[in-house]
């Protein structure tokens, strides 16, 4: 409709001006006229044409200006968007006893857009739209390598939307006075509502996020809400909940799996410490950094999970001293035996070592392990991340584990090359 309107608005004035510039009837009368004293002044004719063309150009410029104003107003000035695309190619080498993992070399992607809108200048509506082709189902009886939680190979960049573009996160936050922030949304995870960042280690594998993505910080995208208090001295206290399937079974019901987390933390520019108590009900389980036995919840399916986190970083980057992030979780269920599980994590990052904005990462840890397990599961990763330019980053990484799923000889090693395009 805009194009049609534009064409009509341009055609009408041009047609009108053409009749004024070249009037054939008047020219014929001029030729037949016996008054030969008047002659056609070519200079005057050219000047008239130039004047009329200038009028047409002026009208076109005005139309383009109005169109630009319309397009600028079509997207809110208070909304910003950024995003990234991640290409991942890699393969695994797993012990023969691990029949669930596909060892073929694969190539997959993830694409995400983040939109932030403010209506008062202090509030924020956050929407994350995401897609990817990391397979959710098995292929030939085996799970493809970088989407498996049982052995810790699920990548932070993995996505299982099957090429479908979906709303992945959606919530709204607003200040309440000078120190409180209220957050609520139909698609959110507990850790987005915490007042203290538990870890500054940047992982390749999702099991190493949040200082160990186990019982205390393990979360699920669900409806939820929370309140955070932040003091001027670095102290922060937050409490929040999420309920799986809260959009259908209801919030905080006996039918819904619920995680209610309360965190207390203290942060300064070079360090932070925090503690969290996360009560989980009705069979809530966590998958990313646990063994199969450690994941199991007995009794009524409820657990009390305590997590301790801390991080420190040097005043300057580019030195041999890394930033350090550590984590420890302990979980207790209401059972007569084998009721306790534990997890630990250590992550190191070196920045600006060989060139500006590069990063070396090394992480090790024990997945959430039940006290009855006789093996000592262990997981690790190492990577080097460097900037090709301001928008493109390349990260080669290797990772692995021994007795990773809590069973003897369940060892594996993997390698990936990730290329991230930011916009």
Instruction: Answer yes or no: is pLDDT of 12 > 50.
Output: no
The residue with greater pLDDT, 75 or 304, is: 304
**Assigned token pair, 224:** 């939820």
pLDDT > 90 in the chain, percent:
64
Q: Is 50 found in the same domain as 124?
A: no
CB 224 within 8 A of CB 246: yes
pTM comes to: 0.81
Q: Is 42 found in the same domain as 156?
A: no
Where among 72, 90, 105 does a domain terminate? 72
Q: Is 410 found in the same domain as 298?
A: yes
CATH number of the domain to which 117 belongs: 2.40.160.10
Tens of pLDDT, residue by residue over 220-242, are: 999 999 999 999 999 999 999 99
pLDDT of residue 388: 97
Q: Is 188 found in the same domain as 111?
A: yes
DSSP notation for 226-267: EEEEE-TTSEEEEEEEEETTTTTT-TT-TTS-EEEEEEEEEE
Q: Is 201 found in the same domain as 54?
A: no
Tens of pLDDT, residue by residue over 310-341, are: 999 999 999 999 999 999 999 999 876 678 99
Tally the domains of the chain. Answer: 2
Nearest to 126 by CA among 74, 193, 59: 193
Where among 12, 41, 72 does a domain terminate? 72
Where among 24, 54, 72 does a domain terminate? 72
Q: Is 103 found in the same domain as 59?
A: no
Q: Is 113 found in the same domain as 66?
A: no
Instruction: Answer yes or no: is pLDDT of 17 > 50.
Output: no
Q: Is 213 found in the same domain as 145?
A: yes
Q: Is 152 found in the same domain as 36?
A: no
User: How far apart, in whole angstroms, are the C-alpha atoms of residue 260 and residue 26?
Assistant: 89
Q: Is 117 found in the same domain as 29?
A: no
pLDDT band at residue 13 under the 50/70/90 scheme? very low
Q: Is 331 found in the same domain as 213?
A: yes
Range(s) of the domain holding residue 45: 2-72
pLDDT band at residue 137 under the 50/70/90 scheme? low
pLDDT of residue 144: 62
Radius of gyration of the chain (CA): 32
pLDDT of residue 75: 57
Q: In a 3-state reduction of DSSP, which class is residue 164?
A: coil
Nearest to 364 by CA among 319, 399, 411: 399
Average pLDDT of the residues in 7-13: 41
Q: Is 45 found in the same domain as 191?
A: no
pLDDT of residue 10: 39
pLDDT of residue 134: 82
Average pLDDT of the residues in 1-10: 39
pLDDT of residue 119: 94
């Amino acid at each position: 409709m805009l194009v049609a309107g534009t064409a009509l608005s341009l055609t009408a004035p041009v047609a009108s001006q053409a009749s004024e510039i070249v009037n054939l009837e008047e020219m014929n009368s001029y030729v037949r006229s016996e008054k030969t004293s008047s002659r056609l002044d070519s200079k005057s004719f050219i000047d008239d044409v130039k004047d009329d063309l200038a009028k047409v150009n002026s009208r076109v410029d005005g139309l383009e200006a109005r169109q630009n104003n319309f397009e600028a107003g079509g997207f809110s000035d208070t909304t910003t968007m950024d995003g990234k695309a991640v290409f991942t190619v890699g393969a695994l080498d797993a012990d023969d006893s691990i029949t669930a993992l596909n060892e073929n070399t694969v190539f997959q992607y993830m694409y995400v857009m983040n939109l932030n809108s403010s209506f008062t200048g202090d509030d924020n509506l956050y929407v994350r739209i995401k897609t990817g082709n990391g397979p959710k189902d098995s292929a030939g009886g085996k799970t493809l390598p970088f989407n498996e939680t049982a052995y810790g190979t699920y990548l932070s960049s993995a996505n299982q939307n099957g090429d479908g573009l979906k709303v992945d996160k959606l919530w709204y936050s607003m200040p309440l006075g000078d120190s409180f922030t209220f957050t609520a949304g139909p698609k959110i995870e507990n850790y987005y509502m915490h007042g203290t960042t538990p870890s500054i280690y940047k992982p390749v594998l999702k099991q190493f996020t949040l200082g160990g993505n186990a019982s205390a910080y393990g979360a699920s995208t669900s409806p939820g809400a929370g309140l955070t208090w932040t003091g001027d001295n670095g102290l922060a206290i937050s409490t929040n909940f999420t309920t799986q399937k809260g959009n259908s079974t209801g919030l905080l019901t006996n039918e819904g799996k619920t995680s209610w987390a309360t965190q207390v933390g203290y942060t300064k520019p070079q360090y932070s410490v925090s503690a969290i108590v996360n009560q989980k009900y009705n069979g809530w389980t966590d998958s990313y950094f646990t063994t199969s036995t450690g994941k199991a919840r007995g009794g009524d399916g409820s657990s009390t999970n305590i997590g301790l986190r801390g991080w420190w970083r040097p005043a300057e980057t580019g030195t041999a001293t890394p930033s350090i992030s550590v984590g420890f979780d302990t979980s207790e269920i209401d059972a007569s035996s084998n009721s306790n599980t534990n997890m630990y994590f250590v992550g190191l990052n070196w920045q600006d070592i060989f060139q500006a904005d590069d990063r070396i990462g090394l992480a090790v840890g024990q997945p959430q392990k039940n006290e009855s397990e006789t093996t000592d599961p262990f997981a690790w990763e190492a990577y080097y991340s460097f900037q090709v330019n301001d928008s493109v980053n390349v990260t080669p990484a290797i990772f692995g584990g021994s007795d990773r799923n809590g069973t003897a000889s369940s060892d594996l090693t993997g390698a990936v090359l990730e290329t991230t395009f930011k916009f």
